[in-house]
């Protein structure tokens, strides 16, 4: 099990843990991966250095950070052919109340990404995409320990019933192509609503380099 204490974190990691974990501190921009270490209790991992290494985001008491809040969604993108396995990633950009940008990244078809986009599509339908939200994340109990997520607005869980049902049907049919199509459509709709332009395909490594240059 990989546990990283606050004392062993970089100043950048400690600052963002303080901000999204509920304490006040100086804030920095970082990139966060979801569920990168299956055997860790942590769900959020900060990318550090030039080699793609990561550190778990943990509280002072040794418990993992499981909520990022309050933040406002500012954009989404799909990154293609990432890493050794040529993965397709969802990049979610959120802004903290201090005006800092955090990028959360996960596989486009992961359960976490499906949960997040289903919640955001619910907010889109309600016309509340510009609201402050909380992103809650936890691990499931199955062998693969998938990460789940909930988007909450004023404490109320957000969802799109139609997208939830479409994804459930596609998963039930083991139709990965359909799942991906639903996810890409959602990213396009949300991105255009937030920025006025369709979603861009961005290389996540370029985003990482930009974040590190901002430290």
Can you tell me the distance from the alpha carbon of 127 to that of 117, in angstroms, rounded to the nearest whole number?
15
| pLDDT value for 30 | 85
| pLDDT value for 14 | 56
| pLDDT value for 24 | 35
Can you tell me the distance from the alpha carbon of 111 to that of 116, in angstroms, rounded to the nearest whole number?
9
pLDDT band at 36 (very low <50, low <70, confident <90, very high): very high
Q: What is the mean pLDDT of residues 112-137?
A: 98
Q: Taking the model in full, what pTM does it have?
A: 0.81
Q: What is the mean pLDDT of residues 132-141?
A: 96
Query: How wide is the angle at C-alpha 203 spanned by C-alphas 3 and 190, nearest 5°?
Result: 90
- CA dihedral (113, 89, 201, 101) in degrees, to 10, reads 70
Can you tell me the distance from the alpha carbon of 38 to that of 23, in angstroms, rounded to the nearest whole number?
27
* pLDDT tens figures, 52-83: 789 999 999 999 999 999 999 999 999 898 87
DSSP states along 112-135: HHHHHHHHHHHHHHHT-TTS-EEE
Mean pLDDT, the chain, rounded, equals 83
Using CA of residue 184, residue 179, residue 87, residue 113, what is the dihedral sign? positive
% the chain with pLDDT above 90? 63
Dihedral pair phi/psi, residue 113, rounded to 5°: -65, -40
């Amino acid at each position: 099990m990989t546990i990283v204490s606050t004392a062993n974190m970089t100043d950048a990691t400690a600052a963002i843990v303080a901000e999204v974990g509920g304490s006040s501190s100086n804030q920095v921009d970082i990139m966060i991966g979801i569920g990168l270490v299956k055997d860790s209790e942590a769900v959020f991992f900060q990318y550090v250095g030039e080699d793609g290494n990561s550190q778990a985001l943990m509280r002072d008491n040794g418990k993992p950070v499981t909520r990022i809040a309050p933040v406002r969604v500012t954009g989404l993108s799909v990154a293609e052919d990432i890493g050794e396995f040529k993965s397709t990633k969802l990049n979610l950009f959120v802004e903290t109340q201090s005006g800092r940008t955090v990028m959360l990244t996960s596989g486009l078809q992961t359960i976490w990404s499906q949960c997040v986009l289903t919640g955001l599509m619910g907010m889109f339908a309600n016309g509340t995409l510009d609201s402050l939200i909380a992103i809650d994340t936890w691990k499931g109990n199955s062998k693969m320990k998938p990460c789940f997520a909930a988007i909450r607005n004023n404490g109320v869980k957000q969802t799109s019933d139609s997208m939830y049902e479409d994804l459930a049907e596609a998963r039930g049919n083991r139709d990965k192509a359909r799942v991906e199509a639903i996810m890409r459509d959602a990213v396009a709709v949300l991105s255009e609503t937030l920025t006025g332009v369709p979603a861009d395909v961005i290389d996540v490594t370029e985003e990482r380099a930009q974040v590190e240059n901002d430290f």
